[in-house]
C-alpha cells in the first residue's frame, strides 16, 4: 500500500527523494498488478479451454490423449531443447477387415432356396440344376432383456398312518439366499449391479426399463437390494484389504462424491471415495468411502502397509509417510506434472517454457512405451540407460527457468509442482516394478466418475459404503479379466454357502479366475 503523509518537508531534495520512492513503489505495484491480471487471464483461458475446448491432451499425432496418458510417447527430437523441429507423418489407411462373429454364440439358421420352377438350366438344355454348394453370411441379432420366473417347489412330507393324524410334517428347507425372503434371484441382483456400476445406469432408468417389460420394480426396492449386496460381500472386502496391505507397492488416489443424508454434514457438501490399487499379476482395487479428505484417512487405510506408495502431489498423504517411520516411501505422478505443463502450454503466453518441459516428459514416456511389457529388471535397465540422462538434463533446465516466471502463473505453478515433487517423481527410476505415473489407479476411478455423472449422489452413508464394496469387487474382477456379471452371479450364488475362511477365499477374483479357466477348458 502507498504510504500517506500528513506533513511534507520543505526542501527540494527531500521532496524529490519522496517522489522517487513513490515512483519506485508505484512501479512495483504496477508490475504486481500486471502479473496478477495476467494470471487471472491465464486462469480464464484455461477454464474456457477445459469447458469448451477439446479434452484431448495430444501434443503430436503419435499421442493417445488423456485416457491413455501413460502410453503417450510422442515422437520428439533427440535434442529436448529444440522447440522448432517438427516431423512429417503420413498414414496409409487400410481397408477395415470384418472379424468373424464369436463361435460360441447360439445360431439360428435360415435357409433360402431357389424355387423349383426356377431351377431349369439357363442355357436352355431343359435339365434341372443340382445343388453344388452354398453361400453363408451372418448378422448380429439381439433379443431384448429376457425375464423369467424361477419357481422353487419345496416338497412336504408327513406320516399318513392312521394313528399319527398327519403328525411330524417336514418341509424341504429353503436354499440359502444372498437376501433371504426376497423375490430377487442372484442372477437378477448381479444384473442390476452390472447395469448400475458397470454400465452407469441409475436406478430410475432401470425402473423404466423393467416397466417396459411389465415388471413393477421400483428404484427404492433395487436401492435396498444394492445396499444388502454391498453389506453381504464385506468378508471378501476384508480379505482383499488384508492381501493389499501385505503388498509392497500400492497406488492411491481419491475422488469426490456426495451423500445427501449424513449426520453433521450439509447435503451439498463433498465427501470422498478413496481408492487403493495394487498392480501386478493379481491386481486388487479397493474403494473406501469417507466423509473426509484429511490425512488421517490414508493413515487408517494403510495401517500395516510397508513399501512404496505412489500418489499425486496432494499433501494429505504426507502424514502417513511421516508416521510410517521410513517404512513407506512416496512415489510421484509424472502424468500430473505433464498435465499442468499442458494446461500452461495451452493457456499461457509463456508457452515456450511449458513446451520445452513437455518435450522432456514426452521423451520419458517414449522410453516407458519401449519398456512397457518387459521384465522389471529390463525396465530398470532401460530407464537407467535412456531415461536418466534426460532427467538430469531436465533438472538443469528446471533450475534455470524456475524463478524466471511469476509463481502464480500457470507456467510458474507447473514448474513449482515439478520442482516440489521432483524427489517423488524420480522414485520410479529405482525399481522396474514402479510405474512412471499414477494413471493405473486413475483408470480404475474413471468408471466411478462416469457413474457419478448419471446418479449424481448417494442417499445414505450405508448406500455409499455398499457402492464402494461393489465397485471394489467389480473393478478387481475387471482387472483380473473376469466378466463382471459372471463373477458377481457366481459370488452371489456361493456366498450364502460360505462358512470357513477357505470358502470365502475361494470367492476372491483370483480364485474364481482359476475356476472359470478350468470350466472353459472342460467345455472345450
- If DSSP codes are grouped into helix, strand and coil, which group holds residue 93? coil
Phi and psi angles of residue 64, each rounded to the nearest 5 degrees, phi first: -105, -5
Beta carbons of 71 and 64 less than 8 angstroms apart: yes
pLDDT at position 56 is 54
* 61 pLDDT higher than 50: no
Cell numbers linked to 273: 471415495
Please enumerate in sequence order all residues whose Cβ is within 8 A of that of 337, keeping only pairs 6 or more positions apart, or say none. Answer: 361, 414, 417, 418, 421, 425
Q: Is 404 exposed, middle or buried (0-12, 13-18, 19+ CB in 10 A)?
A: exposed
pLDDT at position 436 is 94
Find where cell 518435450 sits: 359
Residue with the bigger pLDDT between 34 and 55: it is 34
Please enumerate in sequence order all residues whose Cβ is within 8 A of that of 208, keeping only pairs 6 or more positions apart, or say none. Answer: none
Could you read off the pLDDT of 456-495 as tens digits, one per residue?
667 788 888 999 999 999 999 999 999 999 999 999 999 9
- If DSSP codes are grouped into helix, strand and coil, which group holds residue 460? strand
Q: SS3 sequence, 161-181? A: CCCCCCCCCEECCCCCCCCCC
Could you read off the pLDDT of 188-224 as tens digits, one per residue?
999 999 999 999 998 999 999 999 988 899 999 999 9
pLDDT at position 67 is 33
Lowest mean pLDDT among 65-79, 155-169, 341-355, 443-457: 65-79
- If DSSP codes are grouped into helix, strand and coil, which group holds residue 330? strand
Domain spans, the chain: 162-329+439-524, 333-437
Cell numbers linked to 74: 510422442
* 89 pLDDT higher than 50: no
Could you read off the pLDDT of 375-413 as tens digits, one per residue?
999 999 999 999 999 999 999 999 999 988 888 888 888
DSSP 240-285: HHHHHHTSSEEEEEEEEE-EEE-TTS-TTS-EEEEEEEE-SSS-EE
* 88 pLDDT higher than 80: no
* 66 pLDDT higher than 60: no
Among candidate residues 397, 414, 252, 243, the one with its CA nearest the CA of residue 318 = 252
Burial annotation 93-109 (CB, 10 A radius, 16+ → b, else e): eeeeeeeeeeeeeeeee
Band of residue 50 on the pLDDT scale cut at 50, 70, 90:
low
Could you read off the pLDDT of 96-136 as tens digits, one per residue?
777 787 887 888 888 998 888 888 888 878 788 888 888 88
Longest CA–CA separation in the chain, Å: 134
pLDDT at position 85 is 41
Cell numbers linked to 24: 519506485
Could you read off the pLDDT of 288-340 as tens digits, one per residue?
999 888 999 999 999 999 999 999 989 999 999 999 999 999 999 999 999 98
Amino acid at each position: 500500500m502507498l504510504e500517506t503523509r500528513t506533513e511534507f518537508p520543505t526542501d527540494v531534495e527531500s521532496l524529490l527523494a519522496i517522489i522517487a520512492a513513490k515512483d519506485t513503489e508505484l512501479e512495483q505495484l504496477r508490475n504486481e498488478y500486471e502479473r496478477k491480471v495476467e494470471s487471472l487471464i491465464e486462469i480464464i483461458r484455461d477454464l474456457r479451454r477445459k469447458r469448451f475446448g477439446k479434452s484431448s491432451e495430444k501434443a503430436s499425432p503419435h499421442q493417445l490423449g488423456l485416457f491413455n496418458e501413460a502410453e503417450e510417447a510422442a515422437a520428439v527430437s533427440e535434442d529436448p531443447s529444440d522447440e522448432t523441429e517438427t516431423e512429417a507423418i503420413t498414414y496409409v489407411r487400410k481397408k477395415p477387415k470384418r472379424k468373424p462373429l464369436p463361435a460360441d454364440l447360439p445360431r439360428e439358421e435360415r435357409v433360402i432356396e431357389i424355387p423349383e420352377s426356377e431351377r431349369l438350366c439357363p442355357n436352355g438344355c431343359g435339365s434341372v440344376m443340382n445343388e453344388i454348394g452354398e453361400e453363408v453370411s451372418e448378422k448380429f441379432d439381439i433379443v431384448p432383456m429376457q425375464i423369467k420366473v424361477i419357481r422353487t417347489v419345496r416338497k412336504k412330507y408327513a406320516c399318513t398312518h392312521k394313528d399319527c393324524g398327519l403328525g411330524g410334517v417336514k418341509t424341504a428347507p429353503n436354499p440359502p439366499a444372498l437376501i433371504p425372503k426376497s423375490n430377487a434371484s442372484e442372477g437378477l441382483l448381479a444384473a442390476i449391479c452390472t447395469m448400475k456400476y458397470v454400465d452407469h445406469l441409475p436406478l430410475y432408468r432401470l425402473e423404466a426399463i423393467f416397466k417396459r417389460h411389465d415388471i413393477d420394480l421400483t428404484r427404492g426396492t433395487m436401492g435396498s437390494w444394492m445396499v444388502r449386496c454391498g453389506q453381504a460381500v464385506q468378508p471378501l472386502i476384508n480379505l482383499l484389504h488384508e492381501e493389499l496391505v501385505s503388498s509392497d507397492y500400492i497406488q492411491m488416489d481419491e475422488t469426490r462424491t456426495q451423500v445427501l443424508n449424513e449426520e453433521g454434514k450439509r447435503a451439498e457438501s463433498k465427501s470422498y471415495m478413496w481408492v487403493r490399487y495394487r498392480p501386478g499379476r493379481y491386481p486388487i482395487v479397493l474403494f473406501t468411502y469417507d466423509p473426509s479428505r484429511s490425512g488421517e484417512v490414508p493413515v487408517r487405510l494403510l495401517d500395516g502397509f510397508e513399501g512404496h506408495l505412489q500418489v499425486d502431489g496432494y499433501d494429505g498423504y504426507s502424514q502417513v509417510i511421516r508416521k510410517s517411520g521410513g517404512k513407506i516411501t512416496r512415489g510421484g505422478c509424472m502424468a500430473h506434472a505433464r498435465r499442468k505443463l499442458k494446461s500452461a502450454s495451452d493457456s499461457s503466453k509463456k508457452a515456450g517454457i511449458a513446451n520445452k518441459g513437455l518435450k522432456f516428459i514426452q521423451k520419458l514416456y517414449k522410453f516407458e512405451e519401449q519398456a512397457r511389457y518387459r521384465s522389471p529388471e529390463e525396465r530398470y535397465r532401460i530407464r537407467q540407460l535412456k531415461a536418466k540422462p534426460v532427467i538430469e538434463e531436465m533438472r538443469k533446465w528446471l533450475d534455470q527457468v524456475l524463478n524466471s516466471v511469476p509463481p502464480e502463473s500457470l507456467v510458474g505453478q507447473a514448474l513449482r509442482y515439478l520442482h516440489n515433487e521432483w524427489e517423488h517423481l524420480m522414485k520410479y527410476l529405482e525399481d522396474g516394478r514402479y510405474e512412471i505415473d499414477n494413471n493405473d489407479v486413475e483408470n480404475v476411478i474413471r468408471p466411478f466418475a462416469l457413474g457419478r455423472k448419471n446418479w449424481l449422489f448417494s442417499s445414505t452413508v450405508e448406500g455409499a459404503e455398499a457402492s464402494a464394496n461393489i465397485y471394489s469387487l467389480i473393478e478387481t474382477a475387471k482387472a483380473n479379466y473376469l466378466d463382471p456379471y459372471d463373477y458377481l452371479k457366481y459370488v452371489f450364488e456361493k456366498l450364502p454357502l460360505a462358512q470357513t475362511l477357505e470358502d470365502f477365499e475361494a470367492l476372491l477374483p483370483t480364485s474364481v479366475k482359476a475356476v472359470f479357466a478350468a470350466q472353459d477348458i472342460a467345455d472345450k
